Amino acid sequence: MAAYTPGEQPQGGGWVKLNTNENPYPPSPQALAAIRAVVAAEGATLRLYPSPDASPLREAAAKLHAFPAIDILAGNGSDDLLNILIRAYAGPGRPTGMLDPSYSLYPVLAAAQGAGVVKVPIRADFSFDVEAVATCGAAIFFLTNPNAPLGVSFSPAKVTELARAFPGLLVVDEAYAAFADADCAELPKTHANVVVTRTFSKGHALAGLRAGYALCPPGLASVLHRVRDSYNLDRLAQVAAAAALADSGWLLETVGKVRSERVRLTQGLQALGWAVVPSSGNFLLATPASRQRSASPSTSEHAFAFFRERKILVRRFPNHPLTASALRITVGTAAEMDAFLAAAQAWSEG
């Protein structure tokens, strides 16, 4: 099996890092205060195991979503939750399904469980065929919404239609939901085959702590508890994530900045002649082109190298026709976007 390939983590300073969709702003001050409280008194509480089922985080998520805490599962990032779901519901003879392109970790987790992978292609207009998903034969299907690496989102009505048609377990992976106009957090309340997963790595700027949670229909969380690792979320992550959920004002402020820069980045690249996919995430999928170079995989590769030489990191996905000619660019701070747009203009004029 092949391992997951993460984005490059550069060594040394001076980089403009726009390749792994991290939040460019700091976490909630309340989350930082919660961490400091835990490590106070010489970290005395760190010698003790944390809550085994991450009660502080589950209760905070229950309050936010008006959802029963018993039906919420916490994880070491949403990647842990995806792994737990595959561990419980996929395996030999029980394939995992996904849209193509989508999050490249799904096939890695499926392979570790001995499960096959069924890929349903996303259409050229960035939609998908509900019937094709419903009849794909997967026992569990992962719908990344908003999609990564494309950035497009699927409406709650479209996801509801899919939930009604699909006979297996539908997992709506909402890693980027904070940056979108709508989400599917209500669906597990009304659909017994829908799980919604969330992470703190994107909107809440806690990628370094690893925390996430899943909203499950009644009874499903108890199944997942059987196969998760014990104490799968450490004490610092539990209290920081719970505090971050409570600080809605900070989330709205920082997400608002990202959304504003997303608009500015989109308009700036379009003015240079780049094609940009409308995004609901904290990133853009944009296809570079200029008077000298038409859109193509080789043009994308040339632009990628041009930016890297200037210590600007973006991401390429050369193995799919919808992404081969494009670059995925994380939305950063205003200063980072100024630097990227200046480099993009230099490339376009070169």
Stated pTM of the model = 0.96
Distances (CA, A) of 40 to 35, 68, 130: 9, 32, 52
Dump the DSSP string for 1-48.
-PPP-PPP---SS--EE-SS---SSPPPHHHHHHHHHHHHHHHGGGGS
Q: Distance (Å, rounded) from C-alpha 239 to C-alpha 189?
A: 26
Local structure of 194: helix, strand or coil: strand
The type of residue at 49 is Y
For residue range 297-348, list pLDDT tens digits in order.
999 999 999 999 999 999 999 999 999 999 999 999 999 999 999 999 999 9
Domains of the chain: 16-26+252-349 (3.90.1150.10), 29-246 (3.40.640.10)
Beta bridge partners of 114: none
Answer whether 169's CB lies under 8 Å from 89's CB: yes
Q: Write down the residue that tokens 């490059």 correspond to.
A: 8
- Which tokens is 166 given? 């699909």
Q: What pLDDT does residue 45 have?
A: 87
Q: How far is CA 181 from CA 114, 152, 248, 298, 333, in A?
A: 37, 11, 16, 34, 21
Residue 8 main-chain phi, psi, to 5 deg: -60, 135
Q: From CA 96, how far away is CA 141, in angstroms rounded?
A: 6
Q: Identify which of 62, 71, 77, 78 has the alpha carbon closest to the alpha carbon of residue 234.
A: 77
Helix-strand-coil split of the chain, %, nearest 5: 40, 15, 45
What does DSSP say about strands 327-330 and 96-100: parallel, antiparallel, or unpaired?
Answer: unpaired
Instruction: Give the model's pLDDT for residue 44.
Output: 84
Signed CA dihedral, 39, 70, 252, 327: sign only: positive
Q: What is the pLDDT of residue 296?
A: 97
Q: For residue 295, give the 3-state DSSP assignment.
A: coil
Q: What is the pLDDT of residues 47-76, one digit of tens each?
A: 999 999 999 999 999 999 999 999 999 999
Instruction: Output the six-digit token pair for 111.
Output: 């392979």
Q: Reduced to 3 states, what is the DSSP secondary structure of residue 276?
A: strand
On whether the CB atoms of residues 276 and 286 are closer than 8 A, the answer is: yes
Checking if the pLDDT of 165 tops 80, the result is: yes
SS3 state at 209? coil
- What is the per-residue pLDDT across 132-161, written as a single tens digit (0 to 9) for each? 999 999 999 999 999 999 999 999 999 999
Residue 318's alpha-carbon distances to 36, 147, 242, 328, in angstroms, are 43, 17, 38, 11
Query: What does the pLDDT look like over 266-305, one tens digit per residue?
Result: 999 999 999 999 999 999 999 999 989 999 999 999 999 9
